[in-house]
Structure 1
Amino acid sequence: MKFTPNFQITPAIANCLLEIERHKEVINILPITGKVIASLRETARLMTTHYSTQIEGNSLTPEEVEKIAKGQQGGFPGRERDEKEVRNYFLALEFVEEQLRQDVPLSEKLIKTIHSLVYGGTKKQSQYREGQNVIKDGTTGSIVYMPPEAHDVSPMMKALTNWINKQIKDKELPAPIIAALAHYQFATIHPYYDGNGRAARLLTTFILHKTGYGMKGIYSLEEYYAKNLQGYYDALTIGGSHNYYFGRAEADITPFLEYFTEGMAIAFQRVREKAVNYKEAEIEITPAYQTEKLRELRPQQRQLLSLFHKSREVNLQEIAEHLGINTRSANGLIKKWLEQEFIQIENPSKKARTYVLGKDWERVVLGGRVP
C-alpha cells in the first residue's frame, strides 16, 4: 500500500519556505551563549507541552505545567488526568530528544514507543488499533471523520514510514514539506484509538530535527496550532466525505501544507526575534538596570511579566485568567497599558486580537528571569 500524496507547491507555500530558510540561517549563525540557548530551549519545551496537551482539552495553565516539569506531584485535585497527560508528554519529548542525540533512524518501533510514552507513560510499544475508530463533533455528535479500517492501518503505517525515510534520504522535497505530509498522513491513518494528535506532532518534531530544522530546540509549532485551532482542524479536513475511502486518499493536501508552512514561518520568526533580543539583552541589560526598570511597574504589570516570559503573544482571555480578573477589567487595563507602551497589539483582528510586550519591556524580561 503505497503513500502517494497529492499536492502542489503554491506561491504562498514557496514564500513561506523562503521565510523559514531566512530565519533558520540567522538563528544558526547568531552568536548566543549556551546559557541563553538552554533557557530558550526550556521555554520551548514548556510551551510545546502546554499547547500540545491543551489542543486535546488539557486545562492546566503554563504555570502549572512548569510546576510539573520541576517535579511537583499531586497538587492538582480533580485534574489528575491532565497532570498525567503533561508528565507523559514530557517523557515522550525527552525520549524524542534522546533518540535524536543518538541519531536513531525513524522506524515503526520508534513511532510506537513515542505513542506509548505520550499515551501511557511507558516504553512498551503501542499496538495499532484492532477496530474502527470514529471522530465525532463534541457538540453535535455528528461524524467528522471515519479513518481507514483496522486491517489497512499496519500496511499504511509501514508505507508512511518507508516514504518518510526515502524522502529524508533523497532530499528531493524541502524538509518542512516532508514533515507536513507526514503529519497529515499520520492524522489520516489515525492508527490509535487515542493520542494520535500528540504522537503526530512529536513525529513532526523528530522529522524536522532529523532534517536540520531543529533550530537548537528553541521553537514550538504547537503554540501556532493551539491559537489557530479551527484552522488546524479545517486544514486536516480534506475531501468530499468524512469516510476515508470516499475521496480522502486522493484528496489535494495543498491546504494543509499552506497552513503548516505558514505556522512554521511564524514560529521561526518569533524565535529569531527572541534570540536576537536575548543577544542584545546579554550586552545591554544588566541586573541593576533590570531591577531599576521593574520598579516602574505597578503590581499587576509585574504579575503579567511572568505570563509574557512563558509566551511571547497572549490574548485578552489569557491576561484576565492570569491576573484573576474578568475580561472587562482586563480590557480596561490593556487600553491603559497600550497608551503607556507597556504592551502593543500583535494581531489586530477583533476576533483574535493578541498582544506582546512593548520592545523596551520585552528586552528587560529577556535580560533574565522575572523575580
Structure 2
Amino acid sequence: FTVEYNYNSNHLEGNTLTYGQTELLLLFGKVSGEGHLKDFNDMKASEVSVKMMKEEAANNKDPLTQNFIRTLHHTLLREDYTEYRTLPNGVQSSFVIHAGQYKTRPNSVITRYGDRFEYASPEETPALMSDLVDWYNEEERKGELSPVELAALFHYRYIRIHPFEDGNGRIARLMMNYILSRHGWPMIVVRSRKKQEYLEALHQTDMVVGSIPSVGAHANIKQIGIFLKYFEKLVAKEIQTDIDFVTRKDEDLWWYDGEIITTRSKNTAHILRLMRESPSITYAELTSSLGINTSAIQKLVKRMVENGYIARHESGAWRVIATSVV
C-alpha cells in the first residue's frame, strides 16, 4: 500500500517520479535516475503524512478536528513556498503557498470541458471547514451512513471547499482513507492511470449538485450518487485485489501497481523470476535458460523496462519492481 498509494496520489498531481523510483525511495531510502528535487521531497513528505493519518485513524475514540487536517497539510507541504506563474498577457506573477493554513486567495480549476469551476472563497472557508468537521463527527456518532458513504461524501464536500492553496486533492484522498481505516475498512488507491474516471465522476456530480461552492460543501448522500457509485466500485475493486493477492498462488503470476501483469508470453514471468533470483544475469544466460534468441529477449526486456516492471542499476544489475505472490 505504501508505494502504490504514494506513487498514485502524487502522480495524479503531476509528480514525475516513476513507480520504481518511488519504491526505491520509500522502501530503501535511495535515489535513482532523474527527477526534480521537489518531487523526491514531496514523495517523502507524502509517506510521513500517510503514517500520521494511519496513527490518527487508529485513535478512533477522539473526534476529528480541523487542527488535525491543518497539521496533516503542513506535514504534506513541509513549508511555505513561492509559486511563479506567467499570466496570459505575459506578465510574471508570484504568490506564497502557505503550509497548514487555509487559503488567502481564491482558487478555481479549468475543467477539461473548458469552463472555470470556482471553489469556496477564502472568506467563507473557515466556516465551511468548521461545518464539515462538525457534520462528520455528528454523522459518525449517528451511524446512519456506512463508512464508504461517509468517506465518499467527506471527500466530495472537502473538494468543493478546496480549503488550501495547494495539496487539496492529496489531502482529500488521505482523509477518505482516514475515514475508511478509522472504521476498520481497507484503505484504497485512486490509480493515476484511471485519473479521467476519477475526475469525470467528480465533474458529473458537480453538474447535479450545482456550481455554488457553499451548496457543494453541504451536499447530501443522494446528491452525490454518481460519485458514490464510482467510489463503491473503487472500494470493491481494491478489496477484490487484496483477496486475489492473498489467495492466488502461481509462480507465473506477477503484480504491478495493483493489477496482475497480463502478457501474451509466459517468458515475461520467467524473466522476472530469473532476474529476481540472479540480479546480475546476462542476456546470454537468459537466452540459454529460456531457449529463445537474444533479439527476442532484448525486445521483451525493453518492453518490461518501459512498463516499469524492472529497472537497471548503474552497476548493470537488474532490480525487479513487479511483485510475485510466491
TM-score norm. by structure 1 comes to 0.60
Partner of 1:110: 68
Partner of 2:78: 120
Offset at residue 258 of structure 1 (A): 0.9
Offset at residue 131 of structure 1 (A): 1.6
For 1:135 and 1:242, locate their aligned partners in 2 and report how far apart those are by CA, in whole Å: 15
Partner of 2:325: 366
1:244 aligns with 2:229: no
Structure 2 counterparts to residues 1-371 of structure 1, below 5 A: 44-72=1-29, 75-103=32-60, 104-120=62-78, 126-137=100-111, 142-213=114-185, 215=186, 219-223=187-191, 226-237=192-203, 238-239=206-207, 243-245=211-213, 248=216, 252-277=223-248, 298=267, 301-303=270-272, 322-324=304-306, 365-367=324-326
Change (3 A) 1:102 1:196: same
Q: Secondary structure at the match of 1:148?
A: coil
- 1:308-328 Cα deviation digits (max 9, x unpaired): xxxxxxxxxxx9764248xxx
For 2:241 and 2:16, locate their aligned partners in 1 and report how far apart those are by CA, in whole Å: 25
Structure showing greater relative contact order (alpha-carbon pairs closer than 8 Å, 6 or more residues apart):
1
Larger helix proportion, structure 1 or 2? Answer: 1
Q: Secondary structure at the match of 2:248?
A: helix
The question of whether the paired residues in 1 share the 8 Å contact of 2:108 and 2:118 is answered with: yes
Higher-Rg member (1/2): 2
Deviates more, 1:192-201 or 1:252-261: 252-261
CA RMSD of aligned residues (A): 3.4
Offset at residue 302 of structure 1 (A): 2.2
For 2:149 and 2:15, locate their aligned partners in 1 and report how far apart those are by CA, in whole Å: 29
Unaligned runs of 5+ in 2: 81-97, 252-264, 277-300, 308-321
For 1:112 and 1:75, locate their aligned partners in 2 and report how far apart those are by CA, in whole Å: 32
Larger strand proportion, structure 1 or 2? Answer: 2
Offset at residue 220 of structure 1 (A): 2.9
The question of whether the paired residues in 1 share the 8 Å contact of 2:77 and 2:99 is answered with: no
The question of whether the paired residues in 2 share the 8 Å contact of 1:88 and 1:119 is answered with: yes
Offset at residue 277 of structure 1 (A): 2.9
Offset at residue 266 of structure 1 (A): 0.9
The question of whether the paired residues in 2 share the 8 Å contact of 1:112 and 1:126 is answered with: yes
Offset at residue 222 of structure 1 (A): 2.1
Offset at residue 274 of structure 1 (A): 1.2
Offset at residue 250 of structure 1 (A): 7.5
Q: Identical aligned pairs, as a percentage?
A: 23
Partner of 1:29: none
Change (3 A) 1:66 1:306: farther
Q: Secondary structure at the match of 1:135?
A: strand
Q: Which amino acid aligns with 1:130?
A: T
Q: Secondary structure at the match of 2:324?
A: helix
Offset at residue 242 of structure 1 (A): 8.2
Offset at residue 208 of structure 1 (A): 0.6
Q: Which amino acid aligns with 2:68?
A: L
The question of whether the paired residues in 1 share the 8 Å contact of 2:58 and 2:181 is answered with: no
Change (3 A) 1:270 1:305: farther
- 1:57-91 Cα deviation digits (max 9, x unpaired): 11211111011113535545442121112111101
Partner of 1:313: none
Change (3 A) 1:230 1:299: closer
Offset at residue 298 of structure 1 (A): 4.2
Q: Which amino acid aligns with 1:210?
A: R
TM-score norm. by structure 2 comes to 0.67
- 1:262-282 Cα deviation digits (max 9, x unpaired): 11111111111112236x99x
Q: Which amino acid aligns with 2:124?
A: D
- 1:226-283 Cα deviation digits (max 9, x unpaired): 23211211111213798435975687311111111111111111111112236x99xx
Change (3 A) 1:168 1:306: farther
The question of whether the paired residues in 2 share the 8 Å contact of 1:303 and 1:323 is answered with: no
